Amino acid sequence: MIVVTGAAGFISSCLVSELNKQNENRIIVVDDFSKHEKDNNLQSKIFIEKVERDDFFDWFENNKLNVTFVFHLGARTDTTEQSVAIFDELNLNYSKKMWQVCTQYNIPLIYASSAATYGNGEFGYDDNHDVVNQLVPLNPYGESKNDFDKWVLQQKYSPPFWAGLKFFNVYGPNEYHKGRMASVIFHSFHQLINTRKIKLFKSHNPNYTDGGQMRDFIYVKDLINICLFLKQNQTQSGIYNVGTGKAETFLELALSTFDALGIEPNIDFVDTPIDIRDKYQYFTEANMQKLLSIGYPNKFFSLREGVNEYVKNYLTPSKYF
């Protein structure tokens, strides 16, 4: 059996869908299922059992001999949340316990880290273990992810294979429930449908023009391909970047959205909200050489390709993956 945590969420529900497409149906889905706005993400998916997040470790004790792999992708992902206690509970301590049971029972583990660990990028965006202790995340969410990475690298004992995945800016189907934390593409699409224009943040950094802020945007289908490649090729445990290796501007993102809908560009630039302005990343770009060095074979969607597929195949018809 394969365990997938955060299974009703954006990325994990896409993972479950792709596992089903590969005829893997012996899946245990773990989440806080009291949040019914995520229910549609698991409709039509095939799995054995739903397990509440708080009940998982009790369930595990009774089923551990049947678990063959764990994808621990569930986390509190709100970058505006300031409660360290919440992140300690859900992102740090829960993940430590998952690591410990996978180590004890010899179960391979893939877990979600984040590009938020890189902060302003003053130490670059290399998934080199030597820099993890130097990184300075910009918010408690990023700190919780980096704290777990640091803890992992200090452990004497580990699962037989493990990979911590530093997700960059992920977008794609099944993020309908995410509200403010949904991707800029998701918000741009709905702005465009409702107002025939897109709002982008002004730059408050003299090194970047309005709309010239750059991120490494990765389509969720590419991310899932990486997860499954690592599951099948358990050659080198470690922390891996999960991006495309190419930063693109928010202006290009907006223009791609207009193009996918066949609408003439009309962009308003608005002030970045005060509560995130001093913690805003102006540039991210994953160094993908570590993953490529172990033989990852797939070409990544370009931003324009990914936006086009997302808008036409999922957002416009309101479909799920």
Of 239, 203, 16, the C-alpha closest to 110 is: 239
Distance CA(246)–CA(260), nearest Å, equals: 21
User: Under a CB-based contact definition with an 8 Å cutoff, are residues 94 and 260 in contact?
Assistant: no
Cα 10 to Cα 203, 223, 298, distances in angstroms: 28, 12, 22
Taking the alpha carbons at both ends of the chain, their separation in whole angstroms is 22
Residue 132 tokens read as 């993890």
Q: Is 319 a catalytic residue?
A: no
CA 192, chain centre distance (Å):
25
| Spatial separation of the C-alpha atoms in residues 313 and 261, rounded to whole Å | 12
Active site residue 94: no
Share of the chain residues as helix, strand and coil, in percent rounded to the nearest 5:
45, 15, 40
- Look at residue 1 and give its three-state secondary structure: coil
Cα 230 to Cα 43: distance, rounded to the nearest angstrom: 26
Report helix, strand or coil for 79: coil
- In whole angstroms, give the CA distance from residue 247 to residue 162: 27
User: Which residues in 88-180 belong to E strands, given as ranges?
Assistant: 109-114, 162-167, 169-171
The CA distances from residue 291 to 110, 153, 164, 179, in Å, are 14, 18, 12, 31
152 vs 157: CA distance, rounded Å: 9
Q: Which among 118, 141, 219, 314 is annotated as catalytic?
A: 141
3-state secondary structure (DSSP) of residue 250: helix
* 96, 150, 178, 197: the active-site residue: 178
Which amino acids are annotated catalytic?
A: 141, 178
